[in-house]
Chain A
Amino acid sequence: MRPALVLGAVLSAIALVAALISLVWTPYDVTALQIGARLQPPSPAHWMGTDHFGRDILSMIMAGARTSLAVALVAVGIGMGLGVPLGLAAAAHRRRWLDEAIMRGNDLIFAFPSLVIAILITAVFGPSALNAIIAIGIFNIPVFARVARAGALSLWTLDYIRAARVAGKHRTRISVEHILPNIANLLIVQGTIQFSLGILAEAGLSYVGLGAQPPTPSWGRMLAEAQTMVVMAPHVALFPGLAIVATVLGLNLLGDGLRDALDPRLRGRVA
């Protein structure tokens, strides 16, 4: 096994397990305010200390993992689920009207600053985690469409694609059977990047008040709220920050490791 893959899997698993456990149990109730116990440093009772309302930071990080992972996962899912088929279709119909239509549509989405659209969506539909997911997801579509198209275009010129065409296979079938598995590594790496960007985007939207609404905990809002107290109580910013760093790092290592593990050419070699 590759050490990097193991480390990535472990870090990602910790975030996932924390999110899952928080569904049924957290050390303390994340909505209970205890002003008397505010800004306590880490102690046996509160492993990561408490924040300015006296809430247990460990509990909030566990519950925040749920929000961050769910938002990022669904947003990447939207991006991949719509972007990859569009990119593959564009590549399969290179230089025809379908390609033009898809890619110019992409350009249109790219042309809007994502935060402006997010504000627009939340202004129309109201601020919530769901609307944050939609806003982040929409901006993932052109990213995946471009990566899929670029990867697919270089493959369409190869002989084994020509061989598949000689075998009478339709463009769609070739795209699914030959192209998709061979651009999977690109998509996985892009997926992990977009996943970590999604976590950061969720934090950003929560920071400006457009993401998950209180009292739903969110790493991004925890960081935002902690920024005025960094000097007094550094642990309030430190732990959510570490949670984001560890999760993003874990996802990136996991993506790299998966890419290598999925490629039969690299399989069996020692990293």
Chain B
Amino acid sequence: MSLLSLETLSVQIGPTAILREVSLSLAPGEIVGLVGESGSGKSMTALAIMGLLPPGAQVSGAVRLEGREITTLPERALCRLRGNEVGMIFQEPMTALNPLMTIGDQVAETLMVHQRMPRAEALAVARDRLDRVGLTAPRFPLDLYPHELSGGQRQRVAIALAIALRPRLLIADEPTTALDVTTQAEVLSLLHDLARSEGMALLLITHDLAVVAGMADRVAVMQAGRVIETGATERLFRRPKARYTADLLAASTHHPAAARTPKTGAPLLTVSAATRSYRLPRPKPFAPHPELRAVDNVSFTLGAGESLGLVGESGCGKSTLTRAILGLDPLASGAITLSGHAVSPEMPSHARADVQVVFQDPYGSFNPRQRVERLVAEPFHLTGRPADWRERVAEALREVGLSPDDRGKFIHEFSGGQRQRIAIARALITRPKLIVLDEAVSALDVRVRAQVLDLLAGLQRSHDLAYLFISHDLSVVRAVTTRCLVMQAGRIVEQGLTEALFTAPQHAYTARLLAAAPQIPQAWTEERHATALV
């Protein structure tokens, strides 16, 4: 008998159908991946299982947990169910824990509430659960506070919380999206291990097909509130039945047309021995300030028209280096030159116009109160606004695949992918030589990401642009760059041609990064390509 079964579950909020006849089942100990793009109803499915749907939601169909219908249960019964039989972990480990409670108390609290366990006993169980998720004593005592832990460690605490009562079902909603690759690999392997060893069913919700490829027994693909395909993982990857699934898989392994080999000659951007450090608080009164070298003696060059990748985990100094290259922050020592001009916060405007930037967050990149026309024209501040600036904006919008009529709209009228196109239009407007792409496609759904990568490749050919492509996503960097730098703790530990670096990494850290990155097995995709050709 299946542990959990959704039977033609439909959820409607107001006039909008959120879920349409979703049917899904999980057996004990089974790992099912639920994948789909943003807005496809993945998270809403999880909330429906937990009985956490927003007020006013109309539900039809059934959610059965061990044969018991739970959509009609009263709130009291649902409270007993949550935690006891169904645990859940969320995407953001920074906000999932109470910052004012120790990790031991947070895990123990669940036990004290649900099982009326005395505090001492609850703390003992909490110790056991934290040991189980890899936060072992004596390095991780119970009286640590969440801020004393890293993101991955916090996610482990969240998992310990979720499994404290040994639920039969664990729902993980994008549990590793906010984590670095190496941390992601550890957390995924922990979840896999927990499901297998404790016979706990795991519903893994993610947008990342590579994550489910390595984890799930079965995969369900959602689109617009429907489950459009369910199947054993390998079968689904090798021979997707639904057109949409095939599109998703193709997009996730998409390689845009290769950039031209860059011209040789004087490099466009030269970074030599760049160093930037931050003063940390004094450890003791009157002690000298310790220094953190966020960027430590970094040197590299970037040629005109070249795509250079910069990969590294959070805190490695990527962002600090980016700010220095954009001329926003000064360097402590070393020098950066861009087409012959020294880069610094005091650099002249015309030199600054040669470098533009596209940021990660398509929602935070624009002033919500200005119209697209003004947003795109902002970099004209550097060059002086030409008389035909409106035409230039229209042209830039056309180049990124939008309509010139979009000039009069506000940014909230666009989707994430469209916003990222507008960000690219803004970066193009001064006709720069270098565009810094700071995680520019990380927040996009796979199909949109593939389109934006194609757009970037096309623009690079037509405008002879150089890209500095900063990302934590190794597969994207591999697909779009010709040369690549690997950064760890402020230093460039390895650099070379992307293909060579990915196939035969020289530095141990690069090898570790590559090993940790989730991948869809090559054999699975080859077969698909073969069938596609037939």
Contact = CB atoms under 8 A, between A and B. Distances in A.
A199 B192 CA distance: 64
Interface string B352-369: 110111011100111111
A169 B423 CA distance: 17
A158 B369 CA distance: 14
B426 interface: yes
Contacts of B360: 159
Nearest to A266: B412
A158 B359 CA distance: 10
Contact of A159 (B353, B364, B381, B412): B364
Given A159-B365, A182-B368, A167 B382 contact: yes
B90 interface: no
Do most interface residues of chain A lie in helix, strand or loop, or is the interface mixed? helix
Interface string B376-387: 001111100000
A165 interface: yes
A2 interface: no
Q: Most B CB atoms within 10 A — which of A162, A168, A263?
A: A168
A264 interface: yes
Contact of B378 (A158, A163, A263): A163
A265 B368 contact: yes
Do most interface residues of chain B lie in helix, strand or loop, or is the interface mixed? loop
B144 interface: no
Interface string A58-93: 000000000000000000000000000000000000
Contacts of A162: 326, 328, 357, 359
Contacts of A169: 378, 381
Given A159-B361, A264-B410, A265-B412, A166 B369 contact: no
Interface in A180-214: 181-182
Q: Most B CB atoms within 10 A — which of A159, A162, A163, A178?
A: A163
Contact of A264 (B326, B328, B412): B412
A262 to B, nearest CB: 8
Interface residues of A, number: 17
Nearest to B423: A163
A158 B366 CA distance: 9
Contacts of B361: 159
B115 interface: no
A163 B359 contact: yes
A113 B88 CA distance: 51
Nearest to B362: A159
B12 interface: no
B357 A163 contact: yes
Contacts of B415: none
B482 to A, nearest CB: 25
A178 B327 CA distance: 20
A168 B382 contact: yes
Nearest to A158: B364
Contact of B426 (A163, A182, A264): A163
A9 interface: no
Contacts of B426: 163
Nearest to B430: A167
B352 A166 contact: yes
Interface in A157-175: 158-160, 162-169
Contacts of B410: 264-265
B367 A160 contact: yes
Interface string B411-440: 010000000000100100000000000000
A166 B328 contact: yes
B2 interface: no
Interface in B320-365: 326-328, 349, 352-353, 355-357, 359-361, 364-365
B372 to A, nearest CB: 12
B328 A167 contact: no
Contacts of B365: 159-160, 163
Interface in A129-172: 158-160, 162-169
A182 B328 contact: no
Contacts of B357: 162-163, 166
Contact of B367 (A165, A178, A263): A178
Nearest to A182: B369
B368 A167 contact: no
Contacts of B423: 163
Interface in B431-476: none
Nearest to B413: A264
A149 B51 CA distance: 41
B281 to A, nearest CB: 13
B359 A164 contact: no
B369 A264 contact: yes
Q: Which 8 A-B pairs have the closest CB atoms?
A: A159-B359, A159-B365, A167-B379, A168-B382, A181-B369, A264-B410, A159-B364, A167-B381
24 contacts: A159-B359, A159-B364, A160-B364, A160-B367, A162-B326, A162-B359, A163-B366, A163-B426, A165-B326, A166-B326, A166-B356, A166-B379, A167-B380, A167-B382, A168-B349, A168-B352, A168-B382, A169-B378, A169-B381, A178-B367, A182-B367, A264-B368, A264-B369, A264-B412
Given A159-B360, A181-B367, A265-B410, 14 more contacts: A158-B364, A160-B366, A162-B328, A162-B357, A163-B357, A163-B359, A163-B365, A166-B328, A166-B352, A178-B367, A181-B370, A264-B410, A264-B412, A265-B412
Interface of A: 158-160, 162-169, 178, 181-182, 263-265
